[in-house]
Structure 1
């Protein structure tokens, strides 16, 4: 049994006025309505039934086809009010995010994000919504991101990307990997609030200005091959074939002085042409 408060006021958006419902006794055919009052309103008493029921789709107020326009507007206002009250709860890993923090959407997204940062330091943060240590550490990671706007923080949700994490050999959480430019991966480790000093030291060590040695390296080739071989992922990688010139071609391409004769010396796995007097 629902009860409508005396002189409750309904806001009607289409008519730009408020409607007051006057009722002095309980009735099973009326649903309680609580909306913000308006400075100007007219009094209206509904003579038709205003039945309500709770179905699988939510609150259902009577037969919609039989409602008058003013009643429909009142019900629309009620639904909007209920939606605002319920709202959407913010998950803990969505709180405190900074502009330099990015959620990884796929394996391809991770690879591209690491390759398109030039010489910038990138920290990949592997976490899980059900990990207590990840939840406790998250506010501090957000603080580090705020204090270091030039560092890119990539967040990987383990629950959404289990197969990708398995291919990247991530088996403990929270887990971090540091990457930078042509150097590729700098370090990887796991830490919690109790061992946060490990994260601070790594950030201080690797977040220093360095000259660029070339394009960003990103993931190791073994990791790229592992991702490409994972049937659960839509990721393709073609191993670049390194063309090694034949020794004779090297000799022909190297200008030799008549006073010197070429001598080929095998050192390790490389053939090098040396000059000998």
Structure 2
């Protein structure tokens, strides 16, 4: 599938899905109840809210027009009640953004990236690529997120861990997040953003297909077309070695390395959580009060073994 054709489907799917999720009452329109034949807003209603002609909007949704102006895209974003990350995603899916794309950049951990990781001190750091593949981590990053995996697993390109795969298919990773559903939504939203930026990445498409097949929860979230930006998120983690801790996960883009970012985990200064993060740089025994059982059900492939090392 060429770039233009793929872009058409992405833009149309995003517009139609988000339109279907809006109720007339959400935007101050009359709800006709049972007489409405479509879920959410009608095309003509959204077009009117955005100030564009119905015919033009239909062409956009059907992929027959890919060069909407920034002003039209902003108007559609406002009508659809999109947040900033979703508005940027809509612009990314437009024709102008795709025409400016270049070939897929290489993903690597350069000496400069390693220096940046070292500069973070004792804070857990994970280096991620555009598909959420783990390109590298420091000792604390490995201990916090994937102590059950080999420390050198990111060095083997063909079998690198992938954080999205871990969140949906790995029991250890699911146990790490007290509010796992929120973490799952964030992961899916970031993959949606990646697909918009790199629609012709075959390995990214393969990852989406794998997760859709093996995790009904992922498939449901993926169909919602929600987008999340890479910025900062607060989570309560339940770690088998240091117990529960409230942390911030910061995403830092790496200069001159498109798609590569550092995810740095911090905690409030002087808090027990900060002390717990520092402990991750030392050999530890499992926390005495951390239950080893009572895990929620995990979606796994038919073979029964989650493919976490891809």
Q: Could you state the TM-score of these two structures normalised by the residue count of structure 1?
A: 0.23
Q: Which has the higher contact order (CA 8 A, sep 6+)?
A: 2
More strand by share: 1
More helix by share: 2
Q: Could you state the TM-score of these two structures normalised by the residue count of structure 2?
A: 0.22
